[in-house]
Amino acid sequence: MKKAARLLILLLIISCGKNEPNLTVTGSIKGLKKGTLYLQQLQDTILVVKDSIIYNGEENYILTSDLEA
């Protein structure tokens, strides 16, 4: 019984770990000097910002987010 309880507690601790983003968008923008880039998701009829970056002329970007099932 004690082994089963320890195993259950261990599984609960492992399952409560940090969630990693399951969506990654990478790309590059040429010719833009500065601005803001948004990753948005449509929820019902509203656009919700999931991630954003301040763009300062660096060509490559990476945006990440968690998609809900």
Q: Write the pLDDT tens digit of every residue in 6-15.
A: 766 766 666 6
Question: What mean pLDDT, rounded, does the chain reach?
Answer: 79
Question: What is the rounded CA–CA span in Å between residue 60 and residue 28?
Answer: 4
Residue-wise pLDDT tens digits, 28-46: 888 888 888 888 988 889 9
Contact 65, 23 (CB under 8 A): yes
The percentage of the chain sitting over the pLDDT mark of 90, rounded to a whole number, equals: 3
The confidence score (pLDDT) of residue 11 equals: 64
Residue 9 phi, psi (nearest 5): -65, -40
CA distance 58 to 30: 9
* pLDDT of 69 strictly over 60: no
The answer to whether the predicted template modeling score (pTM) of the entire model surpasses 0.85 is no
